[in-house]
Each structure stands twice: as structure tokens, then as C-alpha cells.
Structure 1
Amino acid sequence: MKKVICFGEVMLRLGTEGHYRFIQSDKMVVNYTGAEANVAVALAQFGLKTEVVTKLPDHDISRAAIATLKKFGAGVDHIVTGGDRIGVYYIEKGASQRASKVIYDRKNTSISNATRSDFDWDVIMKDADAFIFTGISAALGKELPAIIEDACLAAKKNNVMVFCDLNYRKNLWTPEEAQAVMKNLVKNVDVLIGNEEDTEKVLGVKAGQSDVTQANLDMNSYSTVADQLSKEYGFKYVATTLRKSISASDNKWSGLLYKNGKTYYSKEYDIHIVDRVGGGDSFASGLIYAILNGYDEQKAVEFAIAASCLKHSIELDFNLVSVAEITALMNGDGSGRVQR
């Protein structure tokens, strides 16, 4: 069984019910999440062994978060305790022409105050096949960039493939801050994942004249960007999601995978969004699964984008779908008919 290590912040999600705005709400829906935790849970649904690596305070909210991860099959053997706070984000889901809104409360959390001595990466990487981190974790600052670099170096020493999802968040850092950190970290990455905003803000490479707000993507430029990044950093693969935003409720969704000078484009899906959060994480998890299982490049990108397409139909952050469901969609069964 393949094993994947997922490092990053585990958070408390507090969301308004339905499509209520914050100002309308007198109650919140509780969930536990985090970009890398979302990947771990999705891969567990696919039958892979996963380990979430993070730091949480020693209290009942953290224990509820850990119990949630365990419930959905993610490993928790390398979660360390210490510090005082778990990160929180608040969300109201948008609809039609009203965008979703996220408010972060992530300062001075346990993971942001983690130290390099908290994690024995040689032990954590033992028997692992892949390791993933995201730019979100690096953006939390302090020793986290050094911790991630330690993890990547240990992965390399143990022949573990390193995946990075750039995941730029403007509420966490500026492009200048992101580039100062991430240009160094991605030197140890085998598979880079990002979208048009990520590559521009985090690595300073813009995808032509793309404007996602106008549903206008300069498709040829993405291949050029992937080629440029691969040559500069030595990535084995570069993958990106391609989102054409019609509204907060409806998008056109596809992706590409670049390897050795060739670009592979997935089919494009018209998606009606139930919950957009975790869409990129589900693409990353689909790609990890496909690459670890030896899928060819076209099949790999089709699997990853189909997995992510299905995630948009699921409430909350986790992609709770099976390989069989993804494969059925890849093979053209997107009717949504009741399965009896």
C-alpha cells in the first residue's frame, strides 16, 4: 500500500448555514480541515495510507479534530502537541454573482510556533512514497519554512517524491514575501501544482493574458509557463487547474499536466458548485494517487480533474469519493442519475 505524508495546519472551520451571510447567522457549522489534511483524507478514501503531520494544542477541540481525521481514515501518529491555539477560518458561501468570503484567525497558532525539533523527519518519512506541503503552511512564517525544507531534504534522502501545491493566499502574505520563501523551497520539489494566480504571485511567472474573472484563459501560455518552471527548477511534472468562473455557483473546470516538453489537457467540465473549498486539494490528491499508481500522463490529469470535479458537489472540505466514482466520471458517466 502506498504511503503519503501530508504536512500542514489542521484548522477549525466555522461556516454559516446554507448561504447565509455572517450578519444573518446566529449559529455556525463546525468542521475540521486544512489543505494538507484534505489531501490525506481524500487519499485515504482511495485506499492509500496517509499521515497528517502537524502541531496542535493539547485540548478537546484538537482531540475532536484528530478524531475527525481518524474517522475518515487519515493517520495521526505524527501529530505533536503544544502551544495554545488551533487555527480557525470562518466562511460564508457565495451564490450566483456574490462571491464566497473567508476570514482567517491564524496568528500565534500551535503550528505557526512549531520548531524544527518538533519533527523527526527521518522517522516520519520511513516507508513513505510521497510527501506534500503547500504554500499555505510556509506562509504562516517563523520556523515553518525551515521545517518544510528539513522535510523535503529528508524526503529526498529517503527516495520520497515531493509534491508542492503553491496555494497562494493573499490574506496570509504578499507576493514579495511568498517569492522570498517559496523560490527556495520549490528547489526540492518533484511535482509542482498551482493555478494562474499561484505561479504569478509565488514564483513571478504570469500565464499570458489570462483573466479568470472574465472566463478567459490563455491556454497556450500555461504550457509555456510549465516549460519555463520545469527548466528553471527541474520539476518532473507541473500541473495546474484551469477554472473559468462564470459565477460563484457555476464554473468551467479543467486541468493540465506537463512533463518532458509535452502538455496534456483534461476534458472540461461544467460544474455547479455546492462547496468550492477543497477543490484544489482534491485535484492534488487525485494527481498524487495517479502518479503513484503509474497512470500515464493523460490518464493522470483526467483522474485528478474528475476527482476535483466531484469534490465541488460535496459539502465541507473533504473529498469523500471513491476511485470507482472518479473512474465512472472519467468514462463519461456524469449524468447524476440515482444509483440503485
Structure 2
Amino acid sequence: MKVVSFGEIMLRLAPEGYLKFLQADHYEATFGGGEANVAVSLANYGIESVFVSKLPKHELGQCALNNLRRYGVDTSNIVRGGERIGIYYLEKGASQRASKVIYDRAHSAIAEATISDFDWDSIFNEVDWFHFTGITPALSCELADICEIACKKAKEKGIKISCDLNYRKKLWSKEEANKTMSKLCQYVDVCIANEEDAADVFGIHADYTNVTSGEIHHESYIDVAKQLHNQFSFSGVAITLRESISASDNNWSAILFDGRKAYHSKQYKLRIVDRVGGGDSFGAGLIYALLNKFDAQETIEYAVAASALKHSIEGDFNHVSIEEISQLVKGDGSGRVQR
């Protein structure tokens, strides 16, 4: 099985522990980004995982590429060029203090990529699945066109396509997102979203829900999933449901709608170490389960368990094993020492 993910990998700079930006005198450097996080997870699960992007030829670009290789990701289709790698600064929240992200990604190599940079006929050779997120087309009009070209080519070759809506208000407006994602989603088989994305991108709201207060009405999201399915004929709609008690404590679950029936996962009470990449780890778990033909209930349980465990891992990447995920799915979330 072979999966291609397309997007941006960024340098992540974060103060140590839970220090605020204003307190920090040094920053920890790691790498991450929506589709790159998915690629690393899938490689970790034994899937042939290919990441497609554009990185500068200088040492920082090479560091990002080496980091992907370290975790078994195929980087042979990463184009080299451009002047800079995108950066994001992360201040991790705790208790009632929210996390903060500051982007410095304008004019990054991938944001200035052109249609001629990517040979999708070659990239999609013997590929089973293509994954992208709503972040990538938000980076430039050219990238929106590139995503559409990739989706058309994937459809020609019978490749399944998944898209995580991943709306980012710092990258584009809701109106821009709606226009572009409405076009791209007509090619998508599996749509992944969180509790806010459907409202932000498509204006589809869940009743009796207030994400600020952490109130999530699960049944209302079945209706959201049905509306997404009816609008775009998705074969599957998966929505993660995060009940934010505080920055440190969340309740975490999800639903999967297959066009006929909705499947609810069990709910996990999380004590968060690092929530960045939580949605990406969910997407990777979902893709892995669907590729391995898990039934619908097993699929959503696997994806939620994988992402629940990610919240205990520092950095963007999810480093948990299939065995650890399976153990949690079976009900062992005790955290007891394994000897």
C-alpha cells in the first residue's frame, strides 16, 4: 500500500516546556506540518508513505528533508528550490491559558511553487491513496490550482483521495476557503474535519454546540456529516469532537458517517502534553484503517485512539506504535508501566 501526502513542512520553534514567548530566551527547533505529520504516522505504521513538497536547497531545507527520512518517509518527490522554509512559533498553553501560534511562512518555497514543479503522472505511479489538507491551497492561488490538478490526476488513476478541511483563519477568509474547497471537494472520497471546520468553510453549523465553552452536542454532528455527504457525495465523513475543558484537559471522540449510518467512538479524557498534530494523527489512523479494510466501528476507534495517544507526545509527529494503539482500543488506557 502506498500513500502520497502533499503540503508544507515547517520549522517549529517553541519555548521550553510551558514558558510564554515573553519568558523564553531559547527555543526548541523541530519540524512539522499537516500533511507531513500524516506521512510520518503512516510510515510508522508500515505504509509506504511519500511526501510531496518543495524545500529550499540550503541547510535548513535539508534538515527538514532529513527529518522526514529519519522516520521512513519517501522524500524522492520533494522539489528543491525557493529561498526559505516556513516557520511557526508555538507557545503551549496550560490550564486556562490558551496555546498561541505565530506564523512566519510568507514566500516559503512551497508557497511559491509552480504547476511545472510537480509531475503527478510520475508521482502517482502505483499509488493507492492521496491526502492533502485545506492548508495547502490556502497558501497561494497557484497551489490551489496544483491541488486541483493533483486531484484530477488521482481520479483518473482510480486513487482514493482524503482531505482534512483544516481551516486556518490566518491564511485565508471563510469566503475564499468556501470557494476553493467547494471546487476541490468534488474530487474527495473521505472528508476529515473538526468540530469547527464545516461551519467555517461551508457554513454548516451544529445545533446546541458552543466550542468556546466546550459544549459539544454529538447528535448534531451526525446532521453536519449528512449535509457534507449530501453536498459532495463523500464516501465517508469523519469529524473529531474536542470538548475543551481547559488547555490541559480535553474530552476527545469522533464520529464516522459512511453515507448510511453514523458510528461514534468511545470518548477519552485527555491530559494534554502537546495537542499540535492531534487532528493529523487522527487522519493518519483513519487512512491506515480504511486501507486495511477495518469495518466502520473499528476504523473510527482506531483513528481516535491513535490521536488520543498523540496528545501525550511532544512535537508534531505521532510516534506511537500499532501495538500501543491496539492496546488502547482494547480498553487499556491505564498508563501502567510496561515491563
Q: Shorter-chain-normalised TM-score: which range? A: over 0.9
Larger CA deviation: 295-304 vs 148-157: 148-157
Shift of 1:209: 2.6
Aligned to 1:170: 169
Shift of 1:170: 1.1
Report if the CA contact (8 A) 1:257-1:263 is conserved: yes
Residues 117-158 of structure 1: CA distance to partner in whole angstroms, max 9, x if unpaired? Answer: 100111111111111000111110130011001111111111
After superposition, residues 243-282 of structure 1 pair within 5 angstroms as 243-282=242-281
* Whole-angstrom distance in 2 between the partners of 1:292 and 1:217: 30
For 1:30, what is the secondary structure of its paired residue?
strand
Report if the CA contact (8 A) 1:165-1:192 is conserved: yes
Shift of 1:69: 0.4
Please, what is the CA RMSD of the aligned residues?
Answer: 0.7
State whether structure 2 residue 74 is matched by structure 1 residue 56. no
Q: Which runs of 4+ in 1 moved over 3 A?
A: none
The aligned amino acid for 1:170 is K
* Whole-angstrom distance in 2 between the partners of 1:71 and 1:56: 17
* Whole-angstrom distance in 2 between the partners of 1:331 and 1:41: 24
TM-score w.r.t. length of structure 1: 0.99
For 1:132, what is the secondary structure of its paired residue?
strand
The aligned amino acid for 1:160 is I
* Whole-angstrom distance in 2 between the partners of 1:333 and 1:221: 29
Aligned to 1:192: 191
Aligned to 1:103: 102
Shift of 1:333: 0.7
Report if the CA contact (8 A) 2:237-2:258 is conserved: yes
The aligned amino acid for 1:111 is I
Report if the CA contact (8 A) 1:196-1:206 is conserved: no
Report if the CA contact (8 A) 1:130-1:162 is conserved: yes
Shift of 1:215: 2.0
Aligned to 1:237: 236
* Whole-angstrom distance in 2 between the partners of 1:208 and 1:128: 39
* Whole-angstrom distance in 2 between the partners of 1:207 and 1:329: 29
* Whole-angstrom distance in 2 between the partners of 1:260 and 1:245: 28
Larger CA deviation: 210-219 vs 127-136: 210-219
Shift of 1:196: 2.1
Shift of 1:261: 2.0
* Whole-angstrom distance in 2 between the partners of 1:282 and 1:11: 17
Aligned to 1:289: 288
Aligned to 2:217: 218
State whether structure 2 residue 315 is matched by structure 1 residue 325. no
Shift of 1:226: 0.9
Aligned to 2:128: 129
Report if the CA contact (8 A) 2:195-2:242 is conserved: no
* Whole-angstrom distance in 1 between the partners of 2:331 and 2:228: 33
For 2:4, what is the secondary structure of its paired residue?
strand
* Whole-angstrom distance in 2 between the partners of 1:142 and 1:162: 21
* Whole-angstrom distance in 1 between the partners of 2:199 and 2:24: 36
Report if the CA contact (8 A) 1:213-1:244 is conserved: no
For 2:219, what is the secondary structure of its paired residue?
helix
* Whole-angstrom distance in 2 between the partners of 1:268 and 1:337: 20
The aligned amino acid for 1:28 is Y
Aligned to 1:144: 143
Aligned to 2:300: 301
TM-score w.r.t. length of structure 2: 0.99
The aligned amino acid for 2:70 is K
* Whole-angstrom distance in 2 between the partners of 1:260 and 1:134: 22
The aligned amino acid for 1:211 is N
Shift of 1:260: 2.2
Aligned length: 339
Report if the CA contact (8 A) 1:139-1:178 is conserved: yes
Unaligned runs of 5+ in 1: none
For 2:12, what is the secondary structure of its paired residue?
strand
* Whole-angstrom distance in 2 between the partners of 1:187 and 1:260: 15
Shift of 1:81: 1.1
For 2:192, what is the secondary structure of its paired residue?
strand
Shift of 1:212: 1.8
Unaligned runs of 5+ in 2: none
* Whole-angstrom distance in 1 between the partners of 2:76 and 2:82: 18
Larger CA deviation: 221-230 vs 290-299: 221-230
Shift of 1:168: 0.7
After superposition, residues 1-80 of structure 1 pair within 5 angstroms as 2-80=1-79
* Whole-angstrom distance in 2 between the partners of 1:63 and 1:285: 25
For 1:36, what is the secondary structure of its paired residue?
helix
